[in-house]
Structure 1
Amino acid sequence: MTRYITDSLGRLDTVDLIEANPRFADLLRQTYADDPRLRIRTGLIQEQELGSYDTIVCGLPFANFDARTTEEIFDRLLGSLRPGGTMSFFGYVGGETIRRAFADGVDRERTLAGLGALRRILRRHTFRTETVLGNLPPARVHHLAPVSPPAHSEPVPTCDCRNTSP
């Protein structure tokens, strides 16, 4: 995925790559050492100082996360998008079904809660989903955008029109 992204970058574009696995982050540093457009950071997304982005491409396995972690990550990423920005990520077709089928006990409760959080986020933020049947296994690519908070956070007062005397 990184190679595809870097191949499509313009001369002035920049990319922040955040990788939790230190060994893989080192491999990325070696592979892209000569490309000044890439900044490679090691650690969890929740621990990073994020910038402001036009586009975020995420390869995290959200079906494996608990609800709180899923919500934290999406809050951070969607909150880092500039107005008009988009976030894209993928999941495998049937992945949810497989996770539900093989999880049991406490893991099943955690899995179901995490998948529920993911579905709520998708309902609120998704503007397009594509299915890629040529991928093995087939994948769904979700494209999301931040949703502005309501214009009024407090209820608008209503008029009690029965009391109209001067």
Structure 2
Amino acid sequence: MAEVTVFLREYAKTRRDVGAIAPSGTRLCRALTRYMIPNPGRRRAVLEVGPGTGAVTRHITDSLGKLDTLDLIEANPRFAALLRHTYAGDPRLRIHTGLIQEQELASYDTIVCGLPFANFDARTTEEIFDRLLGSLRPGGTLSLFGYVGGETVRRTLTDAVDRERTLAGLGVLRRILRRHTFRTETVLGNLPPARVHHLTPVGPPVHPARTPICDCRETSA
């Protein structure tokens, strides 16, 4: 209950940064961690970006081995403080406060991302995906989600200037998803329903030479 209270308080203060309207439900957490495959004979490195209050983190830690590691990067200092308190006794976890663009990333087998890409401009979206996909080891996976109908809501509730910025960012997101996604699944048993995209690098770069990026069709992101 305390985690939900912190989440709702932070959402009310910083909606653009939090993005989600509620902590991820169990089915969404399971989908996001689908490729957290146990490997007793090999040490795994995992990264979660934007863990919030830790709903998905709990599912990740449940599948970690004794030698596995989990890096958490959380921009909201109050969420980060909550995570540090929750996992103070777990040496496998390292919690970093700040933007992912500011962090030194290692190489990871699995990355789970809860960032609100619908809130980002085109350049920020490109920078983040460059860093995430570039940090995956061969055969590694990046899993992220977007709300069903989220793009329509964003277009409806924003003014003209913010709408143009949003559409440009979503255009970049669509292009990256088309290039790197190997599986998409819809999670209806979440509030609101969500789509989870599983990505893997298909070769550099994430984005080619810059071209017009506004594509105003509805997307599943």
Counterparts of residues 78-117 of structure 1 (less than 5 Å): 78-117=133-172
Q: What is the deviation of 1:31?
A: 0.4
Structure 1 segments of 4 or more deviating over 3 A? none
SS of the counterpart of 1:86?
strand
Q: State the TM-score, normalizing by the size of structure 1.
A: 0.88
Q: What is the deviation of 1:149?
A: 3.7
SS of the counterpart of 2:143?
strand
Name structure 1 gaps, 5 residues minimum. 151-166
Q: Distance in 1 between the 2:204 and 2:104 partners?
A: 23
Identity of aligned residues (%): 87
SS of the counterpart of 2:104?
coil
Matched, 1:24 2:79: yes
Q: Distance in 1 between the 2:167 and 2:81 partners?
A: 34
Counterparts of residues 1-166 of structure 1 (less than 5 Å): 1-149=56-204
SS of the counterpart of 1:99?
helix
- The amino acid across from 1:57 in the alignment is V
Q: What is the deviation of 1:70?
A: 0.6
Residue deviations 1:114-157 (CA, integer Å, cap 9, x gap): 1101001101110000100111110000000011149xxxxxxx
Q: How many residue pairs are counted as aligned between the two chains?
A: 150
- The amino acid across from 1:38 in the alignment is L
CA RMSD, Structure 1 to Structure 2 (Å) = 1.0
Q: What is the deviation of 1:40?
A: 0.3
Structure number with larger C-alpha Rg: 1
Q: Distance in 2 between the 1:35 and 1:13 partners?
A: 11
Q: What is the deviation of 1:104?
A: 2.1
Q: State the TM-score, normalizing by the size of structure 2.
A: 0.66
